[in-house]
Structure formats: C-alpha cells, structure tokens
C-alpha cells in the first residue's frame, strides 16, 4: 500500500454531473473574428470550445469529460496514439493563432478545403510565421523556453520520432534503418541535424497546443468546470513511447511485438478484440520504479482534474495474444503487478485523482485491487436491464464509489440503444423505471442523476436525444468511428433550462 491512505478526489466530495464529449466533436463554425473561420477537419480548441464551457456552466454541469487528447494514427482512434504525452495537433485552432497574434494568417488558408493534408501545410506555414516574429516577443520566447524545459522528458523523443516518420514516408519505426531502430547515438544525432526544420515545426505544434489548452483550462476553471481526462492503459506499437523505451515493452531484437493486447469475447464482440498494442515488460518497469508511468501521469495531471484509466482490469491481469496471431481468441490471462504499480503511483502523487474503467470481464480480484486503492469505478445504465435484479448497473445497486453513465463512447446513444431492443426488453426497462412514458433519453438521464453515486456523466448525444447515427465508436469496427460532430442547431432553445432544473432537483449543483 502507499505510505498513507489514498484520498478520494475532491470531485467526489459533492454531488456533481457532467458531459462526455471529445473536443473533436465540437463544431468548427465560429470564429474569434467576424470573418470566416479558418478550416478545421473537426472540432478544435477555438471559440466553440469556450462556448461549450459556457453551456456547461449555464446548465449547472460542472465536469467535462473527454477521450485521450493525444495525436492519432490514420484511423483517428484516440486509443492508438503516436504519443502518450503529446497533444493532438489537429485540435490546434488556426483561428486562435491569428487572433492572438502568433501568425498573420493568409487569405488562401481561409479558402482551403478542410483536409488533413491542407491543415498540415497550414500548420507548417504557421510555424514559419511564428518563428519569424518570435524575436520580437520576449514573452513568447520565455514561454517557449519554459515549455521545452518542462517537457523535455518526452518532447525531444517525440519531435524526432515525428520528423523521422515524415522522412521515411510514415513507415513504422520497425522498418527504419537498423541504426535508428536501435537508436544508435551517432545516427540519432545525424538525423536530428538533418531534420532540424521539421523538428522545429513539431515543437511549434506542441507549444501551440499547450498554450491553447492552458488558456481553455483556465477559462473552464473560472466557470467552475473541471476537466476529466482519459488515459489508455496501452500505447500504440508505432509510437514515440515504444521506440524511445523499447526495454519497457515485450519486443524482439527487431522491435516487433512478441505479445499484443486485446480482450476475449465480450459484450462488444463475439470473437474478442485484437488491439495490437505491445505488452509491457512489467519486470523491467518495476525494477525502474515505474518511472515511465509516473512521467506519463505527470503529463496527464498537468491537463486534467480527474483521470480515467482505460481497461483498469489489465493492471490485475491482461489478455496476452501471441504477436503473430490475428485472432484474439488465442490469448490467455497473465497476472500483472497491479498492487506494486499503484503503490508507486500513489507514493509519487498522493492525491492522484483516478477513476478505474472496470467494465467488461471483471473478476473479484480486479475489484479487490480497485477498492484497495479507493478508486471509483464505472457503471453504465445501458448494461443494467438483463433481468437480473442484482445487476450492479441497476440504480438500486449503485454506491458512493461509482461514476454513473447512461452510456459511454463505446455504447450506442441511449435513443439508438432503446430502438435496438425488442418489445420485451423495452417493457423491462419501462417497468423498472416506474412505467414512465417520458422520452427514453430523459428517463435514463434522470435515473443516472438520481443515483446515490456522487458523479454522473452523460454523453452529449443523450442530452440532444440523438439516435444511433450519432454514436462515437463501434468497438471492433473501422471506417466511420471517431468522426461525430454536433451542431449548435441541434440544441433545443430551452436545453440549458431543462438540464439545470434536473441538476437542481437531484442536488447536483456542486
């Protein structure tokens, strides 16, 4: 156990409610100016993010939960990132940069179509303009120097990794020259010099993200809105994290994964899920005092007031799939040093504000580990109505150590979920919920808000009564996930009032 009793986060010391919405799901229709906003592929840390904070405050909601904000691969999944520390440059608001005088902007930018390639080009041009005027701003120079110094523990490896990926046409690092796979010092130094220009662009992007994030975070705090982040248990194989610390992962001499992560068949997939993330070399991590994880937590704590650990059960035992297998069903459970790991984390950060994602195949051992460290877990109302009156997701089974959701980013929307049920299943839901005839989204929202549990999180889609066409992710599938965006026109005029009256009714005006 840690040296002192683990405290519960202050966010659980009063009844609260919040919204689950990833920043990419924000609209991109507002400009800081009266002129046309600069093109964005999806939501960003611009004016709409501030408008959303205003909406939360007016509605009486006090927590904004989002998915990981790290850079994604081409599939856009925030759970397969090229870095566990970096900010996603696609969230950078070009409009913000112009508004704050970092760049002059360009009329051609406003006319450009919103594509990933165009946005990369615009960000590169922004970097050139930024560095050209940096000499005239002592304040920006100081801020940039402080950012680089404070983040050196991950930034140097990340910007070099990204420059190398670009240089080698986005090939994974296991297909780079052998001297770079092995990170031979002479080769690393030579490529740092060769790729200096690209490296400077990636430094600019991370600085811009950090400054925009810090400003939004400060604004949210001024409105008494807490930010709730999400930390995947695993990292992508093709990432700066694995390339830079290969000894902490279960890899062969060429950097290939010997075993990979996933889950056996479950609610979401009859054949299980093959994630492909390399497993950790837990023995090496423990021998090093779990420093890799402590650094990762430090980054998250700089951004968030509360952190969800995705797939918490993997700290008790993880599903190990052979690296050359494409079928998750060929895996096996392997014990992990969860007790030692969490002890080290809480000794480093005694007030570490964690929530354990304890969904899926959860054993008594997993729950014992969670309770030993006083970690709140998650309950989802969509999982509650299977006819078992002892189902822990049912409202009468909730406790003071739970976070209640109508659904998560992996679930269908509440309206979509209800539409997918047969008549008997719908009757089961209605009978439990007092045979109420109010719309199903509000019925589940009120059930969540009335729970004894101190924190309730509602996906924005449920407040907007949107159907399954608006879900964020369908686990086990690719192609259309992670792309949903709302529009302000979807908000009923009285939505803030509707939410606020219910927040007050269930004593969640924290």
The residues annotated with a catalytic role in the active site are: 310, 357, 410
Per DSSP, the three-state class of 230 is strand
- Tokens in use for 3? 């040296």
> What residue spans of 89-151 are helical by DSSP H?
94-99, 107-111, 116-134, 138-150
Long-range contacts of 106-113, Cβ-Cβ distance < 8 Å, separation of 24 or more: 109/38, 109/39, 110/35, 110/36, 110/37, 110/38, 110/39, 112/39, 113/39
| Residue 295: count of CB within 10 angstroms of its CB | 16
CA end-to-end distance (rounded Å), the chain: 31
Asked if residues 356 and 370 have their Cβ atoms less than 8 Å apart, the reply is yes
Asked if residues 266 and 272 have their Cβ atoms less than 8 Å apart, the reply is yes
Q: Which H or E run contains 54? A: helix 47-59
Environment class of residue 7 by beta-carbon count within 10 Å: exposed (0-12), middle (13-18) or buried (19+)?
middle
Q: Where are the beta strands (DSSP E) in 314-454?
A: 317-322, 332-335, 354-356, 377-380, 402-405
Number of helices and strands (H, E) in the chain?
19, 12
- 355 forms bridges with which residues in the sheet? 308
Per DSSP, the three-state class of 320 is strand
Q: Cα-Cα-Cα-Cα dihedral of 499, 501, 505, 510, to 10°? A: 70
Among 64, 48, 352, 65, residue whose Cα is nearest residue 225: 64
Among 463, 457, 461, residue whose Cα is nearest residue 471: 461
Asked if residues 316 and 361 have their Cβ atoms less than 8 Å apart, the reply is no
């Amino acid at each position: 156990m840690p040296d002192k009793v683990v405290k519960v986060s202050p966010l659980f010391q009063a009844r609260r409610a919040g919204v689950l919405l990833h920043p990419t799901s924000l609209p991109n229709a507002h400009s800081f100016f009266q002129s046309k906003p600069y093109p964005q592929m999806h939501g960003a840390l611009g004016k709409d993010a501030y408008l959303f904070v205003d909406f939360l405050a007016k509605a009486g909601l006090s927590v904004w939960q989002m998915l990981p904000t790290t850079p994604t691969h081409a599939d856009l999944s925030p759970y397969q990132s090229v870095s566990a520390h970096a900010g996603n440059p696609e969230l950078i608001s070009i409009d913000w940069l112009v508004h704050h005088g970092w760049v002059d902007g360009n009329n051609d930018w406003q006319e450009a179509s919103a594509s990933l390639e165009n946005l990369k080009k615009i960000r590169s041009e922004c970097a050139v303009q930024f560095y050209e005027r940096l000499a005239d701003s002592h304040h920006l120079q100081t801020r940039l120097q402080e950012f680089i110094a404070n983040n050196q523990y991950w930034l140097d490896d990340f910007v070099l990794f990204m420059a190398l990926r670009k240089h080698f046409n986005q090939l994974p690092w296991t297909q780079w020259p052998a001297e770079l796979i092995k990170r031979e010092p002479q080769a690393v130094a030579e490529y740092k010099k060769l790729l200096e220009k690209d490296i400077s662009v990636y430094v600019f992007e991370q600085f811009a993200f950090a400054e925009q994030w810090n400003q939004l975070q400060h604004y949210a705090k001024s409105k008494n809105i807490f930010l709730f982040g999400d930390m995947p248990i695993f990292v992508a194989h093709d990432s700066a994290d694995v390339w830079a610390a290969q000894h902490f992962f279960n890899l062969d001499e060429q950097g290939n994964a010997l075993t990979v992560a996933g889950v056996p068949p479950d609610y979401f997939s009859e054949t299980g899920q093959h994630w492909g993330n390399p497993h950790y070399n837990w023995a090496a991590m423990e021998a090093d005092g779990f420093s890799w994880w402590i650094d990762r937590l430090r980054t998250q704590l700089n951004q968030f007031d509360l952190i969800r650990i995705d797939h918490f059960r993997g700290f008790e035992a993880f599903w190990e799939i052979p690296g050359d297998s494409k079928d998750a069903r060929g895996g096996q459970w392997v014990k992990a040093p969860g007790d030692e790991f969490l002890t080290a984390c809480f000794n480093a950060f005694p007030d570490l504000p964690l929530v354990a994602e304890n969904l899926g195949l959860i054993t008594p051992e997993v729950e014992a580990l969670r309770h030993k460290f006083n970690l709140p877990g998650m309950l989802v109302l969509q999982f509650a109505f299977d006819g078992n009156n002892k189902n822990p997701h049912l409202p009468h089974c909730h406790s003071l150590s739970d976070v209640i959701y109508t659904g998560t980013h992996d679930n269908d929307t509440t309206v979509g979920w209800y539409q997918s049920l047969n008549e008997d299943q719908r009757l089961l839901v209605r009978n439990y919920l007092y045979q109420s005839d109010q719309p199903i989204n509000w019925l589940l929202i009120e059930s969540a808000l009335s729970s004894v549990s101190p924190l309730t999180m509602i996906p924005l889609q449920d407040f907007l009564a949107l159907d399954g066409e608006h879900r964020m992710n369908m686990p086990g599938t690719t192609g259309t996930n992670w792309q949903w965006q709302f529009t302000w026109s979807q908000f009923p005029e009285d939505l803030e009032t509707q939410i606020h009256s219910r927040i007050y009714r269930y004593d969640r005006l924290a």
